[in-house]
Amino acid sequence: MAGHFIRYEGVHKSFGDKAVLRGVDLAIGRGETVVVLGGSGTGKSVLIKHTIGLHSPDSGRVFVDDVEIQEFDEEQLIETRKKVGMLFQAGALFDSMTVEDNVAYALREHTDRSDEEIRDRVREVLGLVELEDVEDLMPASLSGGMRKRVALARAIALAPRAILYDEPTTGLDPITANAINRLIRNLQKRLGVTSIVVTHDIHSAFTVGDRIAFLYEGRILFDGTVEEARRTTEPRLKNFLEGGGYG
Amino acid sequence: MVVTIRIGASRRPNGAPPDASMGRAGWLFAILQQLGGMVRLSGLTLRHTFKRPFEIDLWVEQLYQLGVRSLTITNVTLLFTGMVLAIQTAYSLAAYGGKSFVGDIVALSVVRELGPVLAALMVAGRVGAGITAELGSMAVTEQVDALRALAANPVRKLVVPRVGALVLTLPLLTILADTIALFGGLLMALFEIGQSRAYYMSHVLGALTITDVVSGVGKTVFFAFFIGVIACYNGINTRGGADGVGKATTNTVVVSSISVIISDFFLTKMFLLVL
Ligand SMILES: Nc1ncnc2c1ncn2[C@@H]1O[C@H](COP(=O)(O)OP(=O)(O)OP(=O)(O)O)[C@@H](O)[C@H]1O
Ligand SMILES: [Mg+2]
């Protein structure tokens, strides 16, 4: 299975007596983009957080770059977290810091680049998400869509080998959303980044995905190429796609 | 050993948070779990405090936020405590010739007991609540998870500077507030009781020994650590939006205040034994 960068095996996760994940099996190849679809509250965010140890499974295994991580402590997870960037659903920007400090956080923490190199890199990644001259602003003064893009810039600043996108285009206008879709595509094509994209936006899903995985009642009900998803006869996925998601 | 953080919280096999349906046992479970989490967080905090690289900027920021900005509340509290103690002593012990002991009684009760405890309670209210509210709103907006996702350790980045700053500043705040309380006593001795400055001061200095100062100030190191760990633990483990932040903040004030009062008893006994 050396071809996989991220792999979940029989992942179970409950909160209290609420079983959210009930045996998720899913593998994402190196350089591949898999879109995870599913209704609200089905555990998409919970699932991708397992990838970097923000949740640990009650049972089952999680592999990242051939390392089994589910038992790792915070120290041991550092290497995995440097390799895998995450865009949080609501951005999760540090609101006591400027945009620049947010985006530069991992660069300052994990590289010995000079202040100038860091400033350049910050400008570069902000450019990738189509933002400029926002470095000195505080997150509170940004619009929702801008926050999301700053958060994305922060997630890609260290040039991770894999990126987890939790609803990257939700709340963006169609033009910016398309720019983000292109960015996801470009990161994959040019840098071979492996991606998991959680989205409700069916258009985005078909644009950026190589494969579609449909999370339903705690399991992966459907896992196939975008073409297979379009022609699916699986009634619940069909229903979901025809409902247009909620995007 | 696996030290997963739900920061400091124990690894629950089924992730089960205690809930009302568990009745009385659930309540007990919740308390034990909170206690266990705090003990674990204490261990992590101590371990990371002495590990390089030191986060100097974060420490300086917290020393200012927690220390300098608590000066008013602790000093005002102890100024009036010193004053009231002086007049209470003078009047209530008048029949036993208590007037002449005003300096002794103010000095001993302030330095051994009231200074440390009242300063700690004020700091538990002001600083403890502030820490929990700040970290709690970070937790519910996933900023704590974002920190972890960026491969930074929340214990190092958030907990150590706050607990450390508290442990450094509370003893200093207490020494200053003690001095102010003695000054408050002096004001009353001069203007209400009719003693001379020299008389009052000689009783203050005659009563105090170095042991009194060490045991009084020594206790505050422990108080500060307890307040810091309780406040950080509650903050980082806050769930459930703004409502959760409010509850966590209240919990911090209650639990850290009680911890100060209860641990004061045991610490006092301990210092009596060792000094
Ligand atoms: N830390 C947590 N503690 C308790 N319950 C949680 C926690 N995180 C998630 N849950 C629960 O797990 C379920 C799945 O949540 P999750 O955020 O993964 O849904 P989602 O599929 O991402 O939904 P959405 O599309 O609305 O973002 C929800 O019912 C949520 O309440
Ligand atoms: Mg989600």
Do you know the residue count of chain B?
275
CATH 3.40.50.300 fits A4-241, yes or no: yes
Residues of B in contact with A77 (CB under 8 A): 148, 151
Residue B64 in contact with partner chain A when CB distance is under 8 A: no
* A110 C-beta neighbours (distance < 10 Å), count: 16
CA angle B216, B221, B225 (to 5 degrees): 145
In a domain, B157, yes or no: yes
pLDDT tens digit sequence for B58-73: 999 999 988 898 999 9
* pLDDT tops 60 at residue B5: no
In a domain, B80, yes or no: yes
In a domain, B52, yes or no: no
DSSP 3-state of B6: coil
Work out the minimum CA distance from A57 to partner chain B, whole angstroms. 9
In a domain, B185, yes or no: yes
- How many angstroms separate the alpha carbon of residue A195 from the centre of ligand 2? 16
DSSP string, A109-169: HH----HHHHHHHHHHHHHHTT--S-TT--GGGS-HHHHHHHHHHHHHTT--SEEEEESTT
* pLDDT tops 60 at residue B4: no
Contact A155, A76 (CB under 8 A): no
* Overall number of domains in chain B: 1
**Mean of pLDDT values over A160-174:** 92
In a domain, B17, yes or no: no
| pLDDT tier at B18, thresholds 50, 70, 90 | very low
Q: What is the predicted pLDDT for the residue at A171?
A: 82
3-state helix, strand, coil in chain A (%, to 5): 40, 25, 35
Q: How far apart are the first and last CA of chain B?
A: 38
Would you call B15 and A16 a contact, using CB atoms and an 8 Å cutoff? yes
Residue B245 is part of which domain span?
71-274
Contact A26, A8 (CB under 8 A): yes
**Interface pTM, i.e. ipTM:** 0.92
3-state secondary structure B109-145: HHHHHHHHHHHHHHHHHHHHHHHHHHHHHHHHCCHHH
pLDDT tens digit sequence for A37-81: 999 999 999 999 999 999 999 999 999 999 999 999 999 999 999
Q: What is the predicted pLDDT for the residue at B20?
A: 46
Interface of B with A in 111-140 (CB under 8 A): 138
In a domain, B127, yes or no: yes
Return d(Cα B44, Cα A122) in angstroms, integer. Answer: 33
* Domain extent listing, chain A: 4-241
Residue nearest (by alpha carbon) to ligand 1 atom 3: A15
**Mean of pLDDT values over B83-88:** 95
Work out the minimum CA distance from A73 to partner chain B, whole angstroms. 5
Residue B150 in contact with partner chain A when CB distance is under 8 A: yes
In a domain, B55, yes or no: no
